[in-house]
C-alpha cells in the first residue's frame, strides 16, 4: 500500500520526473503534470493527500493555482517548490495552506522529509475535521430529541452550523401554509430579507423533489435557479449553500448559509455534513409538527 497519493505540478520536465522517481522509490504513489490546468483536471478525477506545486508555472503562478484549489477543497494540503523563495511569497503561501517549502535543487532526503511531515500534518487536520463533524452531528441528534417546538428546533441550530461552516449570513426558511413560498423563520445578518418569492421558491422546491441535494452558490449559470440566486444575492448571500429540509420525501424548508469572499469555500465533506444535519433536523421538526397538529385536533374534539 502506498504511503500517500502525491500530485506534482512542475513545468520543468527534469525536475518533475526527478521528484516523481524519488517519491515513487520511497513508496508513494506520485503523479506529475506540467501545468496548473493539467493539475486541476487531474484533481477533478482523483483524490490526493498532497500537492507539490512549483511557484512559477506557465500562464499563472503556484499561488494562484493554490487559491483555486483551496476554493474547491479548503483542507487540501500543499508544499511549494521554488527556485528563489522570498519572505512575501512564503507568507502568502502559508495563508493559502502551504504545509512546507522545497528549494530547488533539493536533495532526495530533503524532499522526502518535507513530504512526510506535510502528509502527517494533513492527515491530523483531516481527522480533527472529521471528529468535529461527528461530534456536531451527535449534538444535533440530542437537540432533535430534546427540543419540543419545531421552529425553535430549526432556528436554535443556526449558531452551531454557522460556526461549523464559517458562515457570515444565514437563514432558516420554511414553506408557508400554502406551500408556495419559503419564508424566513430566523436569520442572521440578512437585513430585511423575509424569504423567497413564490416563483424562486418553486425553482428550488421542484429541483429538490427530483434531486434533494444542496445547491452551491454561485451556480455558474444554472438558468433554472437564476431568480433564487438573485434573490439570495439581494440578501447578501451571493456565495454559499442552500440545503433542503426534506422529511418523508416532502420539502418543508431550507437552510441557507452565506460565506464571505475571503472564505476558502466548502469542501465535499462539509456539504455531506450539512446534508446529514438537515436530514436530522427536518425529520425531527416534521415529527414535532405532526404531534402539535394531533394535539390541536384532539383539543378541538374535546371542545
In total, the chain counts a number of residues equal to: 303
Tell me the CATH class for 149-302.
alpha beta
Which of the 8 DSSP states describes residue 281?
H
Q: What is the pLDDT of residue 174?
A: 87
Q: What is the pLDDT of residue 25?
A: 93
Please check the confidence at residue 129 and state whether its pLDDT lies above 70: yes
Query: Is the omega angle on the peptide bond into residue 105 within 30 degrees of 0, that is, cis?
Result: yes
Most trustworthy range by pLDDT among 26-30, 39-43, 210-214, 236-240: 26-30
Q: What is the pLDDT of residue 27?
A: 93
Task: Report residue 142 as a C-alpha cell.
Answer: 440530542
> Where are the CATH 3.40.50.2300 domain residues in the chain?
5-126
Q: Which CATH superfamily is domain 5-126 in?
A: Response regulator (3.40.50.2300)
**H-type helices in 26-149, by residue range?**
36-43, 62-72, 87-95, 108-146
Mind listing the pLDDT tens digit for each residue in 188-240?
888 788 899 999 999 898 888 888 888 888 876 677 888 988 899 888 888 88
Largest CA distance in the chain: 87
Please check the confidence at residue 278 and state whether its pLDDT lies above 70: yes
Cβ contacts of residue 235 below 8 Å, gap of 6+? Answer: 169, 171, 190, 191, 193, 258
> Where are the CATH 3.30.450.40 domain residues in the chain?
149-302
Cβ contacts of residue 174 below 8 Å, gap of 6+? Answer: 151, 154, 182, 183, 185, 245, 252, 253
Q: What is the pLDDT of residue 90?
A: 67
Q: What is the mean pLDDT of residues 167-195?
A: 85
pTM for the predicted model, two decimal places: 0.67
Distance between terminal CA atoms of the chain? 71
Q: What is the mean pLDDT of residues 293-299?
A: 80
Of 84 and 249, the one with more pLDDT: 249
Q: What b/e readout covers 142-167, taking b as 16+ CB neighbours within 10 angstroms?
A: ebbeebeebbebbbebbeebbebbbb
Amino acid at each position: 500500500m502506498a504511503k500517500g497519493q502525491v500530485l506534482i505540478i512542475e513545468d520543468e520536465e527534469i525536475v518533475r520526473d526527478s521528484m516523481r522517481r524519488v517519491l515513487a522509490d520511497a513508496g508513494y504513489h506520485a503523479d506529475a503534470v506540467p501545468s496548473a490546468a493539467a493539475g486541476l483536471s487531474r484533481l477533478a478525477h482523483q483524490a490526493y493527500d498532497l500537492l507539490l506545486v512549483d511557484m512559477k508555472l506557465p500562464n499563472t503562478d503556484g499561488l494562484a493555482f493554490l487559491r483555486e484549489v483551496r476554493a474547491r477543497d479548503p483542507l487540501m494540503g500543499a508544499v511549494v517548490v521554488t527556485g528563489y523563495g522570498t519572505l512575501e511569497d512564503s507568507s502568502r503561501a502559508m495563508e493559502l495552506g502551504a504545509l512546507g517549502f522545497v528549494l530547488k535543487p533539493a536533495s532526495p532526503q530533503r524532499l522526502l522529509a518535507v513530504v512526510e511531515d506535510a502528509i502527517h500534518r494533513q492527515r491530523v487536520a483531516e481527522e480533527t475535521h472529521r471528529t468535529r463533524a461527528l461530534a456536531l452531528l451527535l449534538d444535533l441528534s440530542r437537540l432533535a430529541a430534546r427540543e419540543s417546538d419545531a421552529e425553535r428546533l430549526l432556528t436554535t441550530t443556526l449558531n452551531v452550523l454557522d460556526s461549523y461552516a464559517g458562515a457570515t449570513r444565514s437563514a432558516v426558511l420554511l414553506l408557508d401554509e400554502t406551500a408556495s413560498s419559503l419564508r424566513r423563520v430566523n436569520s442572521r445578518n440578512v437585513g430585511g430579507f423575509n424569504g423567497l418569492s413564490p416563483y424562486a421558491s418553486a425553482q428550488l422546491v421542484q429541483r429538490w423533489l427530483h434531486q434533494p441535494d444542496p445547491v452551491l452558490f454561485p451556480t455558474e449559470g444554472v438558468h433554472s435557479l437564476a431568480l433564487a440566486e438573485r434573490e439570495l444575492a439581494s440578501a447578501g448571500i451571493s456565495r454559499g449553500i442552500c440545503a433542503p429540509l426534506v422529511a418523508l420525501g416532502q420539502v418543508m424548508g431550507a437552510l441557507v448559509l452565506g460565506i464571505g469572499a475571503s472564505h476558502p469555500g466548502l469542501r465535499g465533506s462539509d456539504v455531506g455534513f450539512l446534508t446529514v444535519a438537515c436530514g436530522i433536523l427536518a425529520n425531527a421538526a416534521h415529527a414535532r409538527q405532526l404531534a402539535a397538529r394531533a394535539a390541536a385536533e384532539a383539543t378541538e374534539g374535546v371542545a
